[in-house]
Amino acid sequence: MRPLNFDNRFVRELPGDTDGINMPRQVYDAFWSTVRPTPVANPRLLIHSPEVATLLGLSEADIAHPDFAQIFGGNQLMAGMQPYAACYGGHQFGGWAGQLGDGRAMSLGETINSAGERWELQLKGAGPTPYSRRADGRAVLRSSVREFLCSEAMHHLGIPTTRALSLVATGDGVVRDMFYDGNPQVEPGAIVCRVAPSFIRFGNFELPASRGDIGLLEQLVDFTIARDYPELQGDTQEKRGQWFLEICRRTAVMIAHWMRVGFVHGVMNTDNMSILGLTIDYGPYGWLEDYDPLWTPNTTDAQGKRYSYGQQPYIGHWNLARLKDALKPVIADASVLDAGSQVYADTYSETFGVMLAAKFGIRELTDEDAPWINGAFELLHKAEVDMTLFFRNLATIDLANPTLKALYPAFYRDELLQQYHAEWEQWLQHYCQRLQRDHLSDMERRQRMNAVNPRFVLRNYLAQQAIDQATAGDNSMITKLLDVLRHPYAEQAHCAKFAEKRPEWARHKAGCSMLSCSS
Ligand code: AMP
Ligand code: MG
């Protein structure tokens, strides 16, 4: 396998804990700990992302080389790799959780590709680190398939996200009690190699701030600005201020995208918030099927619903407030920190407003549009309508001859379709009148709508089917899904079965509608 070019600034420029003792502990005065992946029995490459391989300058021959599975399964290091686990803290479910850190993620190094771009490689599930607490540092196949497929699917949807290079089966068993109900089982283990320009989280700043280590905090702030935000100008204080506002802006854009496609992250703790505004840490995430703002896939959050679909924009704001608290000691101008809230709110409403207009196929949203748009969402909820199918099929409405029939396939229950039929008819009439005002041709309108309303998302039950088959030794559905999800806005009529709404058997099935944090 040809070598990659590494330039490991995180470990070179920031203080680290180089004891190499892999024992759970509190780590002070350091942003990282030296670690080594723990070897696995029989690493086997199940799938890779061709786009990410290209990004890194890896050829198909490199991927096929026997060393590839060894390296990305954690059995070998490539020259230049300096594995580390990052030290960070976080607010989990609204409360300060103290030190967390990479308990099962290990960064291998920062590669520089031929275009000069920095891409950090990180294994998830490569064994214990000083941050593993009482857990094993491993990951199971089901959660690894989900992370691999979803991070690539999100990228192809045009949503800022960490990427995934590879999914390697380890050949080792991993014991998990999936629903924390006293039924531990041995599951196949796997390792995903995640790829991003940076894996720094809000929690990396919160931890030194919580300990009053202001010197350490300043070091990380200025490092992040220098490495990950080189475009910022001005003196140190000016840069720090602009940097915080840019994080607020990016976080708003990311969450607006989630809302556009019906993605529910599921665990928006501050340790799962990227400083680059990337979607990170794919755990018990899910996709809205029938439109329900209170839906969350995460069984751990079933009571509080803190991280349900409709809450996400508010939680983004709350999380930024925690970052702001952490940054107070190093940003002298308090008004800059206070401005973050407004930047977030303005960016979110502007970005999501433009998206909403495109989703419904109108040129621009005005205040007068609020009642019928809200009306649509209310009806979608009451009548249990599939969000993805609704918007995609809405584009097929023929203004000369509008009929609700085009939307029937999006309804989950016949009785609710009957019950709300008249209300929907009325809504459609109003909607068509509104469309007439814009004077877009059907064709033009459809193109605009289909560019923001995906035909294909990683439906919860599809991910589960792919997992069930992979667990039985057949990876073909993972491959098929990745293929389809690479072009989520294209019609791909030959793949229509992957666009179908959730079948009835999956309504309450574990993995399809309910997921735990156990992974
Ligand atoms: P998450 O909810 O997946 O973001 O994880 C929260 C924290 O728990 C992070 O510090 C993880 O690294 C850690 N963690 C989760 N699962 C494991 C595991 N199997 N082994 C070690 N640490 C883990
Ligand atoms: Mg996490």
226 assigned to some structural domain: no
pLDDT at position 514 is: 85
Percent of the chain at pLDDT > 90 equals 96
Q: Tokens standing for 497?
A: 């079965």
Q: Are residues 418 and 467 in the same domain?
A: no
Q: Are residues 164 and 196 in the same domain?
A: yes
Q: Mark which of 144, 179, 202 sits at the end of a domain.
A: 202
pLDDT digit string, tens, across residues 479-505? 999 999 999 999 999 999 999 999 999
| CA-wise closest residue to 56 among 124, 109, 127, 126 | 109
Strand partners, 119: 111
pLDDT digit string, tens, across residues 298-335? 999 999 999 999 999 999 999 999 999 999 999 999 99
Distance 101 CA to ligand 1 centre (A): 8
**Residue 178 pLDDT greater than 90, yes or no:** no
277 is an annotated ligand-binding site residue: no
**Residue 432 pLDDT greater than 90, yes or no:** yes
Which amino acid makes up residue 241?
Answer: G
412 assigned to some structural domain: yes
Q: Would residue 271 show up in a list of annotated catalytic residues for this protein?
A: yes
Q: Mark which of 334, 358, 382 sits at the end of a domain.
A: 358
Identify which ligand lies nearest to the alpha carbon of 86: 1
474 assigned to some structural domain: yes
> Which atom of ligand 1 lies closest to the CA of 129?
21
**Residue 510 pLDDT greater than 90, yes or no:** no
147 lines ligand 1 (CB under 6 A): no
Q: Which of 33, 100, 107 to mutate to test the pocket of ligand 1 (most atoms within 8 A of CB)?
A: 100
Terminal C-alpha separation, the chain = 31
477 assigned to some structural domain: yes
DSSP 402-460: --GGGGGGGBS-HHHHHHTHHHHHHHHHHHHHHHHHHT--HHHHHHHHHTTS-S----H
pLDDT digit string, tens, across residues 226-272? 999 999 999 999 999 999 999 999 999 999 999 999 999 999 999 99
Q: Mark which of 202, 221, 247 sits at the end of a domain.
A: 202
Provide the 10 A C-beta neighbour count for residue 336: 20
pLDDT digit string, tens, across residues 94-149? 999 999 999 999 999 999 999 999 999 999 999 999 999 999 999 999 999 999 99
pLDDT at position 349 is: 98
Q: Which residue's alpha carbon is at the smallest distance from atom 7 of ligand 1?
A: 100
pLDDT band, very low/low/confident/very high, at 441 (cuts 50, 70, 90)? very high
**Residue 516 pLDDT greater than 90, yes or no:** no
Distance 104 CA to ligand 1 centre (A): 6
Catalytic entry in 271, 290, 301, 386:
271
Distance 12 CA to ligand 2 centre (A): 24
pLDDT band, very low/low/confident/very high, at 179 (cuts 50, 70, 90)? confident
- Report the number of distinct structural domains present in the chain: 4
222 assigned to some structural domain: no
189 assigned to some structural domain: yes
The torsion angles phi and psi of 277, rounded to 5 degrees, stand at: 70, 35
Confirm if 459 and 502 have CB atoms less than 8 A apart: yes
Task: Residue 123: give the domain boundaries.
Answer: 9-202
Q: Are residues 20 and 165 in the same domain?
A: yes
Q: Are residues 181 and 65 in the same domain?
A: yes
Confirm if 100 and 89 have CB atoms less than 8 A apart: yes
Q: Are residues 189 and 254 in the same domain?
A: no
Identify which ligand lies nearest to the alpha carbon of 139: 1
Q: Are residues 152 and 295 in the same domain?
A: no
pLDDT band, very low/low/confident/very high, at 513 (cuts 50, 70, 90)? confident
502 is an annotated ligand-binding site residue: no
Q: Are residues 40 and 81 in the same domain?
A: yes
Q: Are residues 51 and 188 in the same domain?
A: yes
Q: Are residues 278 and 394 in the same domain?
A: no
Q: Are residues 328 and 183 in the same domain?
A: no
Percent of the chain at pLDDT > 70 equals 100
